[in-house]
Structure 1
């Protein structure tokens, strides 16, 4: 918790004295306007908090004219409203508001930790490293911004899925927690939910199908479950995003191209850390062609020689650790044996599938390493925890094989 607090304060320091502005600064500025309204006329301030933006009310005009994020359905304005509510408890002090965001983030990371430790009880130390001490998580995932709330909510969705759908315990409580957390993600970054849903459905199927004793029934039911799960995921994706200017499935290819081109052009103008994966044509097929390179970029870049400043160097060192750890497992165990472990261990299937889908989506649409390091935060708990679990499983398998060989030799000697 102290480390999360340190990260929250450090984000503010970096944005204030290194970047000289940025999203965190703008969130606080917008929330300051709302807070001024609350202290001047509480009714007007409350109306600014309750509206999702875009409401043209003469009483609100003196305030919304100062806020360029005051637009209908704006996720940025939503964060500003939440920040203003937090500010009511501390005279609207930036540092304390940032610590409150860190607290929300920490609660979700703790939910991640509880769930993974229940799945692999003997790995509490390795999982603590993966979830609490990764620089990107306790730095970019702790400050005043979208990422802190999203990673916190995602942790609770993961926890609710495990308690309700896998353990089948306290199902009503789990459903309430899951729906509330999923709705928070839906309001802020719905694409996180869309990437998690297919992987979560596969996880539930794998966990429950392993309980089917009859191999014939299990074999027959597998394609049926996949078909139902795929249909539910597609329906959810199209329904949740219908009409959304940013995430509508029918427009997602075009929107990704616009976003990627814009971020890259800004990076070039500011001599930033832009990257190009290839030419986006504005279609989902075009995105799919760039998916393999996008996955590599999200997980293992920037490379050390691509780091242009101290902040990016830290990200490059972290990405290099992911790459070395991954290659170490594949080379030691073997590619096909590693895939077998992944496909036969439900939590590994969930973690790697979500990580790959999410890495592809953010890698294609970002085009800037500085932005990517923040956008990819939701995949880090799953990917790094999965690597540690996979490493432990391979070691356990090797120990069991060695024990069996020793037993066999003893029997032959007898």
Structure 2
């Protein structure tokens, strides 16, 4: 009977792929669709194999086994299963390894729904997770191509083919859900501000993606909402007041002020965001990673203390480490060597991008650039301080890495020369 489920699942996946391809049948990126999707699905399989053979389990397999408990519950009591999905209540909760970890439990719930379709087949469920991530990134890539003409190579490299992004947002991990949802939200936001779409029924999809992002990576969601709101309000106010609309300096000043106001509001959205508590949260996470990590696999912040002056003093090192470490040659295991090569590439792209900083930008593009830079810097510093383990940081960086790469490649002279070869 299982093979009937597998045929059914493959048919569903094929239908979803066909629908997505048909929607973008006239896209200039159409030639990249098949290779990017195949690599994405393959990366999900490789991730499962890596965790199973090298890490001897890891989060992805724990998610799977926990989700199997829920599908078993569904078979015996669908009502109790639905009750658990909605309220996280029931006898099964005490048997869950992620009891008390709401974000991990959220992933398990989503996976259990997928497992009902795939008959608890890890690899098929992984394919659906990978496809969700790919869909968000594919939609964002096509939106960007419509806004920034003749930038195909920069966009597909940043979103679809960069190894870390390709690998660490595939398969059954939080980042697959988080990055797919985040990419969809940015796609929608760009559609609104560049007037490709109006607020309508698609708002329901935006709210669903925000719900997924918040429940998987709330700090991604909090920062993204902060800058989206500040940019949106700045553009709205500049339309109402001519003096602001005519002055980029006034617009940037207004944007900065709105960021501060939004930050004050955002700090009330989650206990870990409270300004008086945030340094302690970062410090506690740092100490926890120090205690369980190899001494050669850690970013050390000597004299780090749980207060704002200390956090700010260590921020430059955190920013540099989060962006470009591990350096090539700093570590000798394969994953860190690959990361070192990538980081060297990112460093060279970042340096070369300064040689062609755009002189004239529209108000929308200027605010997007400033907001994107601020998002990358803040999230990078936060992650590097609170998650100083290189192995974990490489995975968590996918929360800002696509945006960082877009900043570094969209007007990069090296990429522009290569771009002529793929037209």
TM-score range, shorter chain: 0.7 to 0.9
In 1, the alpha carbon distance for the partners of 2:245 and 2:329 equals 53
> Does 2:43 align with 1:7?
yes
Question: What's the TM-score once normalised by structure 1's chain length?
Answer: 0.83
* Aligned-residue RMSD, C-alpha: 2.8
Instruction: Report if aligned partners of 2:71, 2:112 keep a CA contact under 8 Å in 1.
Output: yes
Instruction: Report if aligned partners of 1:348, 1:390 keep a CA contact under 8 Å in 2.
Output: no
Q: Residue 234 of structure 1 is aligned with which of 260, 264, 287?
A: 264
Q: Residue 29 of structure 1 is aligned with which of 65, 68, 86?
A: 65
Equivalent in the alignment of 2:98? 69
- Provide closer, same or farther for how the CA distance between residues 217 and 41 of structure 1 changes in structure 2, counting only shifts above 3 A: closer
Instruction: Report if aligned partners of 1:358, 1:379 keep a CA contact under 8 Å in 2.
Output: yes
Equivalent in the alignment of 1:371? 392
Q: CA deviation at 1:177?
A: 3.0
Question: What's the TM-score once normalised by structure 2's chain length?
Answer: 0.81
> Does 2:324 align with 1:300?
yes
Q: CA deviation at 1:103?
A: 1.1
In 2, the alpha carbon distance for the partners of 1:48 and 1:347 equals 40
In 1, the alpha carbon distance for the partners of 2:260 and 2:286 equals 28
Runs of 4+ in 1 over 4 A off after TM superposition: 205-217, 337-344, 392-396
Alignment deviations for residues 255-312 of structure 1 (CA, whole Å, 9 cap, x no partner) = 11111111122113xx662221333311233222222211111111100122231111
Q: CA deviation at 1:202?
A: 4.7
Alignment deviations for residues 173-224 of structure 1 (CA, whole Å, 9 cap, x no partner) = 4533332222221222111122223432454366668878955764495344
Instruction: Report if aligned partners of 1:342, 1:349 keep a CA contact under 8 Å in 2.
Output: no
Q: Residue 56 of structure 2 is aligned with which of 13, 20, 24?
A: 20
Instruction: Report if aligned partners of 1:209, 1:218 keep a CA contact under 8 Å in 2.
Output: no
- Provide closer, same or farther for how the CA distance between residues 175 and 166 of structure 1 changes in structure 2, counting only shifts above 3 A: farther
Q: Which runs of 5+ in 1 are unaligned?
A: 397-414
Q: Which runs of 5+ in 2 are unaligned?
A: 1-36, 418-423
Larger radius of gyration: 1
Moved more, 179-188 or 253-262: 179-188
Total equivalences in the alignment: 378
Q: CA deviation at 1:339?
A: 9.2
Instruction: Report if aligned partners of 1:212, 1:218 keep a CA contact under 8 Å in 2.
Output: no
Moved more, 371-380 or 247-256: 247-256
- Provide closer, same or farther for how the CA distance between residues 252 and 229 of structure 1 changes in structure 2, counting only shifts above 3 A: closer
> Does 2:306 align with 1:282?
yes
> Does 2:280 align with 1:254?
yes
In 1, the alpha carbon distance for the partners of 2:239 and 2:93 equals 56
Q: Residue 322 of structure 1 is aligned with which of 341, 346, 353?
A: 346
Provide the secondary structure at the position in 2 that maps to 1:122. Answer: coil
Q: CA deviation at 1:91?
A: 0.6
Instruction: Report if aligned partners of 1:253, 1:287 keep a CA contact under 8 Å in 2.
Output: yes
In 1, the alpha carbon distance for the partners of 2:78 and 2:142 equals 40
Instruction: Report if aligned partners of 2:230, 2:258 keep a CA contact under 8 Å in 1.
Output: no
Taking the TM superposition and a 5 Å limit, the aligned residue runs for 1:96-107 are 96-107=124-135
- Provide closer, same or farther for how the CA distance between residues 117 and 205 of structure 1 changes in structure 2, counting only shifts above 3 A: farther
Q: CA deviation at 1:229?
A: 4.3
In 1, the alpha carbon distance for the partners of 2:63 and 2:218 equals 20
- Provide closer, same or farther for how the CA distance between residues 314 and 146 of structure 1 changes in structure 2, counting only shifts above 3 A: same
Instruction: Report if aligned partners of 1:256, 1:365 keep a CA contact under 8 Å in 2.
Output: yes
Moved more, 297-306 or 205-214: 205-214
In 2, the alpha carbon distance for the partners of 1:381 and 1:138 equals 10
Equivalent in the alignment of 2:18? none
Equivalent in the alignment of 1:412? none
Taking the TM superposition and a 5 Å limit, the aligned residue runs for 1:401-412 are none
In 1, the alpha carbon distance for the partners of 2:95 and 2:296 equals 29
> Does 2:295 align with 1:264?
no
Instruction: Report if aligned partners of 2:286, 2:388 keep a CA contact under 8 Å in 1.
Output: yes
- Provide closer, same or farther for how the CA distance between residues 355 and 88 of structure 1 changes in structure 2, counting only shifts above 3 A: same
> Does 2:108 align with 1:84?
no
In 1, the alpha carbon distance for the partners of 2:80 and 2:415 equals 60
Provide the secondary structure at the position in 1 that maps to 2:214. Answer: helix
- Provide closer, same or farther for how the CA distance between residues 267 and 226 of structure 1 changes in structure 2, counting only shifts above 3 A: closer
Provide the secondary structure at the position in 1 that maps to 2:179. Answer: helix
- Provide closer, same or farther for how the CA distance between residues 7 and 88 of structure 1 changes in structure 2, counting only shifts above 3 A: same
